Amino acid sequence: MLKFQVHSPGKVILHGEHAVVYQKPALAAVVGLGTKLQLRSQAGSQVASFQLEALNCTVEIELNEFNAFVANFRNKYPSDKLESTAKLMEEVRAEVAKQLERTMGTTPKQHTQRAFLSIYYLLAGAVLSAPGDQRTLQTGFQVQVETELNVGAGLGSSASYGAALAAAFLILAGHFDENSYLQEENLALISHWAYESERVNHGTPSGVDNTVCTYGGILRFVKGQGFQALCIQKPLSILLVDSRISRSTADIVAKVRHLGEEFPQLIEAIWQACEQLVNAAVPLYESFGNAQDDSQKFEKLERLFQINNDLLKAIGVSHPKLEQIFTIAFKRGFFSKLTGAGAGGYAIVLLPENYECNEVYWKLKEELEAAGFGVHVTTAGGVGLRVSSLDN
């Protein structure tokens, strides 16, 4: 009887948002908030049930229908080793559309459709590529998914969800177990299928979210050139502040692109400055925590936060609510910046060591909450995806 849980963290962009679109480096870090998935196999059941708390919905897969789909796919593509997943994506889309139409009667919300599509696609991929001859699901199971991450807020909620599903299904299909998932090839497999899940949600993702959510820590990323893990000594303490303003990342990226077309040399100079900022930040993050007195390094990081935020303001991706957060933080002596696309979403406030003993910190938190913002104390640069056993 399988019974385990997966915790998959979310992420923030520390530096380099927007510039990363133009082949400049960015730094991404996992946060202490994430997605929790619990899987319990159910003897005698022939149904896979998924309770998705964030979307307030339950979806079910009949095992006999799923196994028939897998068998049909194998017959249709007998030589397919799933090195290219395009055929599987196409077949799953058709199957899911047919099942949703039959079981729900009406067209479900887009979030529900995508969630079900991700589930079916990752489950089929894990079973079809499973080692050995057992290429069907024998026993039903129940999955509960809950998250601390707001959907569409720039915290990597979809990658966190995808990585949690991928790990659970790969264990279910026998690729590895709860004791061997941290082996390099197994983490690479989880990250690969989390990326495939991202394709369902975003079309052409960069690959940074699924990588950092799986491996953890802080990553330096250049579009088209892959990732470099920073050798950090310890995670940073941060305050994540939710502006409660939703926005479309695609729309904001398009506006910034238009600005770059109007003032190409000026905007290119900003991208160059963003690159220099990342280069200056990397050694600070890597050495922070290995000396008794890190106060000078922390002050430099604070300045980089401020410069980075001013560069992002210069390309027009701030918002009055974000400005309110920056003002409240600065008034109390804290440095902050927007993260992700901007124009809403989250801001990060950098917290010093032993911040809990600082009376001003508690006043800052209280003032932000009184102003109506969501406030989460967490870390940047902690551990990545983790699997643990369930007691009941």
Amino acid found at 271: W
Comparing CA positions, the residue from 42, 50, 7 lying closest to residue 389 is: 7
Contact yes or no for 175/131 (Cβ under 8 A): yes
Amino acid found at 68: A
- State both tokens at 62: 């009949």
Helix, strand, coil percentages (3-state) for the chain, rounded to 5, are: 50, 20, 30
Comparing CA positions, the residue from 161, 142, 173, 156 lying closest to residue 67 is: 173
Contact yes or no for 11/207 (Cβ under 8 A): no
Amino acid found at 22: Y
H or E segment to which residue 29 belongs: strand 26-42
Alpha-carbon distance of 80 to 146, in angstroms, equals 34
In eight-state DSSP terms, residue 274 is: H
- State both tokens at 289: 């925590």
In eight-state DSSP terms, residue 78 is: T
Give the catalytic positions in this structure: 158, 209
- State both tokens at 48: 């896979």
Residue with the two structure tokens 């559309």: 97
